[in-house]
Amino acid sequence: MCGIVGYVGNSSGRVNAGHNALDVVLEGLRRLEYRGYDSAGVAVVADGRISSRKKSGKLSNLLDELEGSPLPDSLTGIGHTRWATHGGPTDRNAHPHLADDGRLAVIHNGIIENFAELKQQLLAKGVVFASETDTEVAAALLGDIFRNQLKGNTADGGLAKAMQLACQRLQGAFTLLAVHADQPDVVVAARRNSPLVVGLGEGENFLGSDVSGFIDYTRKAIELGQDQIVTITAGSVEITDFFGAPAVGKEYTVDWDPASAEKGGFSSFMEKEIHDQPDAVAQTLLGRSDLNGRLTLDELRIDPQLLKKVDKIIVLACGTAAYAGLVAKYAIENWCRIPTEVELAHEFRYRDPIVDSNTLVVSISQSGETMDTLMAVRYAREQGAITVSICNTNGSTIPRESDAVLYTHAGPEIAVASTKAFLAQITAAYLLGLYLAQLRGNIFSGQIKDVLADLGKIPAKIQKILDSATELRELARSMKDEKSVLFLGRHVGFPVALEGALKLKEIAYLHAEGFAAGELKHGPIALIDEGQPVFVVVPSPRGRESLHSKVVSNIQEIRARGARTMVIAEEGDEAVRNYAEHVFYVPETPPLLMPLLTTVPLQIFACELAAAKGYDVDQPRNLAKSVTVE
């Protein structure tokens, strides 16, 4: 996943204050750096040539380079932050890549699957490559077509025509942006299975991996469809398919402002987003029911008769989103009595799954661009399934290609490790489960109204946890030298344990594992040694009491073998106090809804411990915000 920005300013020849192309592009890259930060680069068109700078490492390295070697003022520019796939994160592998004797610059997100074959063809023509990337192959192909096939003719489409012909030969998932010195007031871009949006300004237009890339300048945007090419100038936007046929994008308005993407006084975006969670849950619940307490999910524009026929539900997701799906499974089966499976999206279509027109496939993705999940959704649709996406990003690919969408409205999530999006996904999954139960008559309307009322109390309860986390933060700082932490949970506490472990892996680079507490005696208890830290998510004693007592027994078993136990329990649960070194209480809430609360202390713990170790919690090594390649 990479951050991509493109800009063309007014064509009067005058660069407005603050609208130098380089300024616009760098601001966009700053907002998009979370998408890729192995290297960064920019290119502008000025004085009849391409001027480019690029550096490995974070965006700050590029800024230092530009300080010592500035670029000329320009009205046309492109920029890129990279997450390496082909070739290591070096200066020469950074984007942009140049072709056509340095007169063409290209940046790229995704993977060109047939790059090796194309590279051999270009080598045979005498092309010399300076990097190990598939991107440079795409640039060389585009340059070869522009110069040798089209003879550099800019009168009949020029760069846009060359992009069409190049894309007809490219295989894989990609977004490509290109500028050429022969067309100084044009940026051309192509999209296949990879995110790209257009920003509409007045006397200027923008391109970005997502709207964060241009939110400082406009909130008007256009969704691009699959296999489309867009040509922007200062005063026009022209969209075609890969064969030049005219196409139309869908305009929409971005409903959050630039301030939403700033840290708000917190030390990191992740810390801010943990504190955003009361609002994220509240916004996801907002407007979902009528005055009588009946759910009205207007985004789910699917014939109710089709949903009543559903006899199986499959939840597709990866990583944190998959753990939200596991929580959803407990709730949906409880309320709807429909068998529900949770599948890792990248495994789904490779095992020949049983899917038909009575199957509801629910995909969960914060970005809506997760490639594994997108391909799984496409496969499910090919098999005739009904598809619903739970997503946080308006206009992204997975919602567009699903039959319906339930947006989470959590606002932009900048930190790579997901927090508020996770709680919003769980909340949306609860709403979907309740809606299906309402539609099918599985539970009474009064019960649904009660659950919605309980959900409505969750934001204040999350805030209470956030306001009383001092001891938890102190514990995290004291454990910065630990080598391993284990997590245990049962029922809906099991996916919470998995998520708690994942957070430590992602941002603290610490060995961490989450287990179903009942599995302890089947192997994992062998890991328990003197002083081993173990977090235990204890079920509510008001739920299935046998589960509570069994988990208390698990705590006793591991303490007897030397474990150091940290317990997440419900307020009033005094039974756990005698068996734990530390107890962190969360407010009382119905057992099925507990993950919305018990997850929060584990997020705080991971964030604080990683910060104590001196790590960048927002941009952990080797990870990108969305996985947009398979």
Per-residue model confidence (pLDDT) at position 36:
65
Per-residue model confidence (pLDDT) at position 256:
72
Q: Is the pLDDT of residue 84 over 80?
A: no
Q: Is the pLDDT of residue 185 over 80?
A: yes
pLDDT band at 18 (very low <50, low <70, confident <90, very high): very low
Pick the catalytic residue from 119, 272, 503, 625: 625
**Cβ atoms 32, 205 nearer than 8 A:** no
pLDDT band at 14 (very low <50, low <70, confident <90, very high): very low
And the tokens for 135? 């991107």
Structure-model confidence comparison of residues 49 and 294, the more confident one: 49
* In the chain, % of residues over pLDDT 90: 73
Pick the catalytic residue from 2, 167, 318, 607: 2
Give φ, ψ of 579 to 5 degrees. Answer: -120, 15
Residue 206: alpha-carbon gap to chain centroid:
21
Per-residue model confidence (pLDDT) at position 544:
67
- Average pLDDT value for residue range 340-359: 94
- Average pLDDT value for residue range 397-406: 92
54 is catalytic: no
pLDDT band at 540 (very low <50, low <70, confident <90, very high): confident
Sign of CA pseudo-dihedral 192, 187, 77, 104 = positive
CA distances from 505 to 478, 485, 537 (A): 18, 10, 18
2 is catalytic: yes
Partners of 111 in the β-ladder: 173
**Where do we find the tokens 């039959």?**
403
Q: Is the pLDDT of residue 494 over 80?
A: yes
Residue 559: alpha-carbon gap to chain centroid:
38
Buried/exposed 126-156: b ≥16 CB within 10 Å, e otherwise: ebebebebbbbbbbbbbbbbbbeebeeebee
Q: Return the DSSP state at 591.
A: G
What does the alpha-carbon distance between residue 491 and residue 470 come to, in Å, rounded to a whole number?
28
Delineate the domains of the chain, giving CATH numbers in brackets.
3-259 (3.60.20.10), 262-456 (3.40.50.10490), 464-630 (3.40.50.10490)
Per-residue model confidence (pLDDT) at position 246:
96
Report the chain's mean pLDDT, rounded to a whole number. 92
What does the alpha-carbon distance between residue 628 and residue 246 come to, in Å, rounded to a whole number?
27
What does the alpha-carbon distance between residue 363 and residue 354 come to, in Å, rounded to a whole number?
16
Give the pairing type, strands 511-516 and 484-489: parallel
**Cβ atoms 196, 4 nearer than 8 A:** yes
Residue 65 CB contacts under 8 Å (≥ 6 apart), including other chains: 53, 54, 55
> For the segment 256-271, what is each residue's pLDDT rounded down to a tens digit?
777 776 777 788 999 9
Per-residue model confidence (pLDDT) at position 1:
63
Q: Is the pLDDT of residue 17 over 70?
A: no
Sheet strand arrangement including 404-407: 340-344, 312-317, 359-365, 386-391, 404-407
The DSSP secondary structure of 426-458, one letter per residue, reads HHHHHHHHHHHHHHHTSS-HHHHHHHHHHHHTH
CB-neighbour burial class of residue 69 (10 A; exposed 0-12, middle 13-18, buried 19+): exposed
Per-residue model confidence (pLDDT) at position 15:
47
Per-residue model confidence (pLDDT) at position 625:
79
568, HSE (Cβ side, Cα atoms, 13 Å): 32
* In the chain, % of residues over pLDDT 70: 97
Per-residue model confidence (pLDDT) at position 301:
78
Give the pairing type, strands 386-391 and 404-407: parallel
Q: Where are the beta strands (DSSP E) in 330-448?
A: 340-344, 359-365, 386-391, 404-407
Q: Is the pLDDT of residue 545 over 70?
A: no
Q: Is the pLDDT of residue 550 over 50?
A: yes
Weakest mean pLDDT among 212-226, 285-299, 427-441, 523-537: 285-299
Per-residue model confidence (pLDDT) at position 12:
54
**Cβ atoms 318, 367 nearer than 8 A:** no
3-state DSSP assignment of residue 617: coil
> For the segment 438-490, what is each residue's pLDDT rounded down to a tens digit?
999 888 888 999 999 999 999 999 999 999 999 999 999 999 999 999 999 99
> For the segment 146-174, what is each residue's pLDDT rounded down to a tens digit?
999 998 888 778 999 999 999 999 998 89
- Average pLDDT value for residue range 98-126: 94
Structure-model confidence comparison of residues 194 and 511, the more confident one: 511
Sign of CA pseudo-dihedral 315, 321, 322, 325 = negative
- Angle 247-252-253 from CA coordinates, rounded to 5°: 150
What does the alpha-carbon distance between residue 161 and residue 145 come to, in Å, rounded to a whole number?
9
3-state DSSP assignment of residue 213: helix
Partners of 405 in the β-ladder: 389
Per-residue model confidence (pLDDT) at position 499:
98
CA distances from 249 to 5, 199, 229, 380, 404 (A): 18, 12, 11, 25, 19
Which among 167, 486, 259, 452 has a CA at the least distance from the CA of 444? Answer: 452
> For the segment 296-340, what is each residue's pLDDT rounded down to a tens digit?
876 777 888 899 999 999 999 999 999 999 999 999 999 999 999
Per-residue model confidence (pLDDT) at position 298:
65
pLDDT band at 5 (very low <50, low <70, confident <90, very high): very high
What is the Rg, in whole angstroms, of the alpha carbon atoms belonging to the chain? Answer: 26
In this prediction the pTM is 0.82
Which among 598, 611, 580, 618 has a CA at the least distance from the CA of 510? Answer: 611
> For the segment 559-610, what is each residue's pLDDT rounded down to a tens digit?
989 999 999 999 999 889 888 999 999 999 999 999 999 999 999 999 999 9
**Cβ atoms 488, 554 nearer than 8 A:** yes
